[in-house]
C-alpha cells in the first residue's frame, strides 16, 4: 500500500489547523503510525498535543512526504523550514489555494516533485473531495501516494493539469459555501411562509444534507433524481418553474467569478 511508505520513511505536516487536523486524523485512522508523523504548528490544539506525533521537533532528513497545509499568506514564512528537502526524493503536496506549482519550484528547487491539490471543507467529516495535479518530477508511484493521503478524508479526482485547478476551486473548493447559502435562503423562505425560524432552519438543513446523501448513494443522475421528486403539475413543478430558468445562469456566473478570482490570485 502507498501509505506503508509513509510509515517507513515518515511524513512532515506543515500547518495543522482544521484541514490539517482532518487529514492527520484520517491518516492515523488509516493506520499511519503517529511516530511516523512530524508536525510543525505554532498553535497546536489540545487534540494535536495528545496525538502522539512529533510536534515542533524539526523534520527527519528524508521523509517520504511533506504536506503543506498553511494558509497561502503564511507560505512564504513557513517554507524555509523545508527548503533543505527540495530537489530530492521527498514529495511535496500542497493544499494551499492560490499558490502555483511554479511558485513552489522557485522556493524549493525546480527538480522538486510537487503535487498541488484542492480539497474542500467536508473533509472535516470524511466527505470531502480533492482534485490533484502534478509537475513533471512526480512519478506515478508518488502520485498514487498523494491520492492515498487525500483519500483519507473523502473522494479524489486527478486533473489533466494545473490549468484546471481554478475551475475546481470555483466548483468544489468554494462550493460548500454555495450550499450553506442555499440552506440560509430556504430557511428564510420558510419563515416568510409562516414557519418558526428554528423549524425552517431544521427543515432546510435536513433537506439539503439528506438530498446530498441521496445523490451520493444513488446510481441515478442528478437530473433523474430531480425528476423523481417532480410530479407533473404539482408543488415541486411550480417551484422548479421559477428556479430552472434562473439558477443555471446564476450558478454559471458565480462559478466564473470564483474561477476568475482564483486566476488573479495565482498571478
d(Cα 242, Cα 25) in Å, to the nearest integer?
A: 43
pLDDT of residue 51: 96
Q: Which residues, in sequence order, are CB contacts of 113 under 8 Å at separation 6+?
A: 89, 90, 91, 92, 134, 135, 137, 138, 139, 142
Nearest-CA neighbor of 12 among 54, 50, 48, 51? 54
Cβ atoms of residues 139 and 165 within 8 Å = no
If you average pLDDT over residues 68-79, what whole number do you get?
83
Mean pLDDT, range 161-187, rounded to an integer: 97
Report the distance separating Cα 141 and Cα 60, nearest Å: 21
Residue in this structure with the C-alpha cell 427543515, named with its chain if needed: 203
Q: Which of 88, 42, 50, 51 is nearest to 69 (CA)?
A: 42
State mean pLDDT over 202-228.
97
For residue range 34-55, list pLDDT tens digits in order: 999 999 999 999 999 999 999 9
Cβ–Cβ < 8 Å for 33, 52: no
**CATH number reported for the structural domain that contains residue 178 in this entry:** 1.10.3730.10
How far is it, in rounded angstroms, from Cα 262 to Cα 98? 6
Cell of 219: 446510481
pLDDT at 225: 98
Q: Domain boundary residue among 166, 189, 221?
A: 166
> Once rounded to an integer, what is the mean pLDDT over residues 7-35?
94
The pTM of the full predicted model, rounded to 2 decimals, is 0.91
Asked which of 133, 166, 199 is the last residue of a domain, the reply is 166
Q: How much is the pLDDT for 96? A: 87
Instruction: Provide the CATH number for the domain around residue 86.
Output: 3.40.50.720
Of 129, 150, 166, the residue at which a domain comes to its end is 166
Which structural domain range is residue 87 located in?
A: 2-166
In sequence order, the β-bridge partners of residue 130 are: 156
Residue 19 shares a structural domain with residue 61? yes
pLDDT at 79 over 90: no
In the chain, the number of structural domains is: 2
User: Which is more confidently placed, 74 or 152?
Assistant: 152
Pair 145, 210 in one domain: no
Confidence (pLDDT) at 86:
93
Same domain flag for 39 and 130: yes
Q: Are residues 229 and 107 in the same domain?
A: no
pLDDT at 162 over 90: yes
pLDDT of residue 263: 86
CB 173 within 8 A of CB 130: no
Measured in whole angstroms, how far is the alpha carbon of residue 68 from the centre of its chain?
A: 13
Confidence of residue 81 (pLDDT cuts 50, 70, 90): confident
Same domain as 66, residue 162: yes
Please indicate, yes or no, whether residues 180 and 56 belong to a single structural domain of this protein.
Answer: no
Q: How far apart are CA 152 and CA 147, in angstroms?
A: 9
pLDDT tier, 265 (very low <50, low <70, confident <90, very high otherwise): confident
Amino acid at each position: 500500500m502507498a501509505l506503508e511508505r509513509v510509515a517507513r520513511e515518515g511524513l512532515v505536516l506543515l500547518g495543522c489547523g482544521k484541514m490539517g487536523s482532518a487529514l492527520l486524523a484520517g491518516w492515523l485512522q488509516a493506520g499511519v503510525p503517529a511516530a511516523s508523523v512530524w508536525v510543525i504548528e505554532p498553535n497546536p490544539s489540545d487534540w494535536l498535543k495528545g496525538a502522539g506525533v512529533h510536534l515542533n521537533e524539526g523534520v527527519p532528513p528524508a521523509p517520504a512526504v511533506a504536506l503543506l497545509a498553511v494558509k497561502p499568506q503564511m507560505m512564504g514564512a513557513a517554507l524555509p523550514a523545508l527548503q533543505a528537502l527540495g530537489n530530492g526524493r521527498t514529495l511535496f503536496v500542497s493544499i494551499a489555494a492560490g499558490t502555483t506549482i511554479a511558485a513552489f519550484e522557485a522556493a524549493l528547487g525546480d527538480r522538486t516533485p510537487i503535487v498541488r491539490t484542492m480539497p474542500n471543507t467536508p473533509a472535516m467529516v470524511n466527505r470531502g473531495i480533492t482534485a490533484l495535479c502534478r509537475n513533471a518530477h512526480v512519478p506515478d508511484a508518488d502520485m498514487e501516494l498523494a491520492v492515498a493521503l487525500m483519500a483519507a478524508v473523502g473522494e479524489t479526482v486527478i486533473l489533466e493539469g494545473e490549468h484546471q485547478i481554478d475551475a475546481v476551486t470555483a466548483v468544489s473548493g468554494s462550493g460548500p459555501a454555495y450550499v450553506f447559502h442555499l440552506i440560509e435562503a430556504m430557511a428564510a423562505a420558510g419563515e416568510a411562509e409562516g414557519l418558526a425560524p428554528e423549524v425552517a432552519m431544521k427543515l432546510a438543513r435536513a433537506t439539503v444534507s439528506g438530498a446530498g446523501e441521496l445523490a451520493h448513494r444513488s446510481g441515478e443522475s442528478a437530473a433523474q433524481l430531480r425528476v423523481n421528486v417532480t410530479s407533473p403539475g404539482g408543488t415541486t413543478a411550480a417551484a422548479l418553474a421559477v428556479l430552472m430558468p434562473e439558477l443555471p445562469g446564476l450558478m454559471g456566473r458565480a462559478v466564473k467569478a470564483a474561477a476568475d478570482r482564483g486566476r488573479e490570485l495565482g498571478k
